Structure 1
């Protein structure tokens, strides 16, 4: 574990930290202004993603793993498109075309074809966008990246894939450096330049590791389930009610927790605890695949209890009003 590959996470952490410290000293930064979707009240720079991707770039150059090339090309292409979106805004059709194009190209290079390619493309595009949907509270998306990619890195290391392990650990390290600036009260936000490629890499690295036999297909789903379940349940609820699901809103469960009175700090700490719990369940599934059904039922029960508690409190609060 002391090989040169493991210098990459330290380099990624340092590069992200220095990039963000430098960017914060500049003027005319792209700002995230309060709107109908946001939970913040003052304009805040959305440059965190640029720092994270700077760290990922340093790690990628250090590791120079050809197996990771399709993931890297797709992630940095989406980061470039997202920087443009952060700065001047892009039509939604342009963004979605880029997401689909990157997903198909990456998965074809990984080796998926036929129905596997179709299912994988839909999964990658959904994960790419839901990560963006869930980037709406201080410390939330950065914490998911630190825990989620850290779990993938540990699983890859246990599976004797040091290159993939070091790369996933580097993403987690860059996210930790970002959290230094994003922990409540946040000095900056991640922005699409970070959330979009992080969602893309979460999905594609999860598929890559599964194809290499490093973990079961369900492992990355459980690890990243705090984002997957909230976003999917919210979309399904809005569609059931006939709401326009593509419109900005503040009805995610994590958003309702803040609107019910919890601070961003309390939300972040609670979310991190949930993320760590799900990562632990993911490793139990990896070690005891014969218990997969039991572990999946347990994780579903945890989410149902959390959602029930939030929904109940939400109804009571609205009745009081």
Structure 2
């Protein structure tokens, strides 16, 4: 168990400890996944069968959550037991989502489980904020849980975003004016687990996250973000800026489908990242470009922690404008791709 009173958490021993936790998490996660693949158990737990809306063309085991979640839960209980509640919520959602991966589950039951996990966290660890603000934050956390699942559709994308996003949490929690060693170490464990998963998920992917991986990761992104804000480790905008590429893509896509009256819970290929893969960039270049965008936003977020509040919010607005321009560029490329494809003569 580590102390949460390390002044500034800027000492070399702490950074070495956090790095060791991340490295150990990566090794254990990769070892579990290697064992699941070698024994063939991965194919019996859950398999993603490609369909018309998939970006892959062969069956792939969906067992990433079977390694990431246990590693994060154990690391939390051993190194930062004060954060047991987010870890317990992630384990609960992993169990529910595994049932969904195996047998399917109605949207109502899935949403009920997500709502329960978020509500318990907020009620048990209530921030000093008006009730309506907590309701809004709870809704945003629910959205983060689900959008992470929506964004798990291209090789290396969701795993890479987990690596960068939770590494940013680890750094931000350590460099904050009100640092949290526990939050930093747990975030480092999630980032390390993502590295172990990426060994098998980077293009061409041999393993997918599955709902048992993506849903808990989305929950942890929201839960740890909320925890850091409630403990005054970082401002409310920090978690949103860190995961802004995911949030922006999923939110715009959802709004478009809602306006067209479509069933938003059904699978589709309309996300920005899916269109990038389809119009010729492929999985590898798409993931690499998204990594670059997320890294740029993370650097801005970490630097802005030391800025005056007004400048912080100005940087958030500026970054939103950048993301809007990126979205416009992708839409433009997509329209040209569709036009060119429609003009091709039939064979």
Of the three residues 287, 292, 301, the one matched with 2:312 is 292
Number of equivalenced pairs: 320
Distance 1:80 1:186 in 2: 23
Distance 2:52 2:136 in 1: 33
1:131-153 deviation per Cα after TM superposition (whole angstroms, max 9, x unaligned): 00000000100011000000000
User: Does residue 98 of structure 1 match 2:118?
Assistant: no
Q: What's the TM-score, normalizing by structure 2?
A: 0.88
Preserved CA contact (<8 Å) 1:127 1:199:
yes
The match for 1:32 is: 48
Aligned pairs (5 A) from 1:104-115: 104-112=119-127, 114-115=131-132
Distance 1:114 1:302 in 2: 33
Of the three residues 129, 147, 168, the one matched with 1:130 is 147
Runs (5+) with no aligned partner, structure 1:
none
Superposition deviation, residue 81 in structure 1:
0.6
The match for 2:163 is: 146
Distance 1:317 1:110 in 2: 49
Larger Rg: 2
Structure 1 residue runs of 4 or more that deviate by more than 4 Å after TM superposition: none
Preserved CA contact (<8 Å) 2:80 2:185:
no
Of the three residues 95, 102, 112, the one matched with 1:80 is 95
Of the three residues 110, 119, 137, the one matched with 2:136 is 119
User: Does residue 50 of structure 1 match 2:66?
Assistant: yes
Superposition deviation, residue 64 in structure 1:
4.1
Superposition deviation, residue 202 in structure 1:
0.4
User: Does residue 17 of structure 1 match 2:43?
Assistant: no
The match for 2:260 is: 241
1:286-312 deviation per Cα after TM superposition (whole angstroms, max 9, x unaligned): 121331232122212211221111111
Runs (5+) with no aligned partner, structure 2:
1-11, 343-347
Between 232-241 and 7-16, report the one with greater CA deviation: 7-16
Superposition deviation, residue 90 in structure 1:
1.5
Helix, strand or coil at the partner of 1:261: helix
Check 1:314–1:174 CA distance in 2 against 1; reply closer, same or farther (3 A cut): same
Q: What's the TM-score, normalizing by structure 1?
A: 0.95
Aligned pairs (5 A) from 1:118-267: 118-159=135-176, 160-267=179-286
Helix, strand or coil at the partner of 2:285: helix
User: Does residue 301 of structure 1 match 2:312?
Assistant: no
Preserved CA contact (<8 Å) 1:14 1:55:
no
Distance 2:267 2:318 in 1: 32
Preserved CA contact (<8 Å) 1:103 1:124:
yes
Question: For the aligned residues, what is the CA RMSD?
Answer: 1.5
Superposition deviation, residue 243 in structure 1:
2.3
1:233-268 deviation per Cα after TM superposition (whole angstroms, max 9, x unaligned): 111111122322222111000000011011100011
Helix, strand or coil at the partner of 1:38: coil
1:29-79 deviation per Cα after TM superposition (whole angstroms, max 9, x unaligned): 32101124321111001111111112212312321422x122111111001
Helix, strand or coil at the partner of 1:187: coil
Between 155-164 and 203-212, report the one with greater CA deviation: 155-164
